[in-house]
Structures are given as structure tokens and as C-alpha cells.
Amino acid sequence: MSVTATKSDTNAQVLNQADPNKVSDALRKVKLGRMLSPVKITLAAITAAAVVDITSFKKGDSTVTINSGLADMIANDALPAIGAIKSMRVTTSGTANSVGSYAATDAGGTGLSPLASTVVGLAKLSDDGKSLTFLTTVTGLVIEYIPRSDADLEAAFTPLS
């Protein structure tokens, strides 16, 4: 008796293969339209924190202003995780040298403060794209980013029911 194992395609493989019987489910799972629409948000008067979890904020929160993108979201939807950062600026902080423009490094990188806006600061972006880590606490932030896929592209594809 022989057993044949069948290997499931990943979400990424289904998208690459473009099988018309599967691709519509895969596109809905990853929310391709959202991934292709850059998001610009302003977080103001947020609780002072060195780690800012973008996904803990929701459309409709008093601290969140959506400058562009996310038109498909309804109130109380959590902001999507970050795929790539286009621009980032700390607008308010308890520490003066934390205010200014930032770039991002991966979670294993080293943070850097912008030194009172004379150089670009460096924030660490978590591997899952959900949180940014600064050297000191921030209370206001403007960020423009490209959202990450809603579904893990390397996970096994399962059709929507």
C-alpha cells in the first residue's frame, strides 16, 4: 500500500499561477486593492510610547486621521500592518530630539533619534509589520505606508466559503 501526499499550494503560488478558479479567492484574502493603495495617517495625542502598534488603532479613533487610502474600511476596523514605509515623521514627543523625520530598519536594527531634526532618525519595524520602535516615547506621528497582505502569502491556500 502506498500513500501519496498532496502538497497544498501557498497563497503566493495560487496568485502566481492565476488559476481563474482560485485567484478571486486569493485576491480577496490578501486584499490586493488595499495593498496597492498607499495609506497616509496622522496619529495625534496618542499615549506616550516607544513602541507604537499601528494595528492597535482603528478607523474612527479620535487619535487617528486618515489622510488618504483606506476608503474601503469601516469605523472600528483596525489599521492594516505595514508592508513598506514611504515616509514617517514624529510630530510630538516628550523628548525634543525625537521629533523629526524617520526611516525604518528591520526589527534587528539599531534605532537612532533625529537629533532635533538635524539628521533622519531610524525606527525599527517589527517583522510582522505591526509595530514601530523608537528610542524614546512618541505622542504624535505622521506615516505614509503601503499595507501588508491581510493573509500570509506563504500559508497554504484554502478557498473562501
What pLDDT is stored for residue 118 in this prediction?
73
Grid cell for residue 115: 537629533
CB 29 within 8 A of CB 9: no
What pLDDT is stored for residue 1 in this prediction?
59
pLDDT single digits (tens) 14-36: 999 999 999 999 999 988 888 88
pLDDT-based confidence at residue 2 (cuts at 50, 70, 90): low
Nearest alpha-carbon partner for 124 in 112, 138, 142: 112
What pLDDT is stored for residue 102 in this prediction?
94
| Enclosing H/E stretch for 33 | helix 32-35
CA 41 distance to own-chain centroid: 11
**pTM of structure:** 0.85
pLDDT single digits (tens) 138-157: 999 999 999 999 888 898 99
CA distances from 27 to 2, 14, 81, 159 (A): 36, 9, 17, 11
pLDDT single digits (tens) 47-102: 999 999 999 999 989 999 999 988 888 888 999 999 999 999 999 998 878 899 99
Cβ-based neighbour number of residue 85 at 10 Å: 17
What pLDDT is stored for residue 96 in this prediction?
74
What pLDDT is stored for residue 114 in this prediction?
85
Paired strand residues for 85: 145
CA 27 distance to own-chain centroid: 18
What pLDDT is stored for residue 117 in this prediction?
61
With H, G, I as helix, E, B as strand and everything else as coil, classify residue 16. helix
With H, G, I as helix, E, B as strand and everything else as coil, classify residue 63. coil
Span 122-131, average pLDDT: 96
The whole-angstrom separation of Cα 128 and Cα 66 is: 22
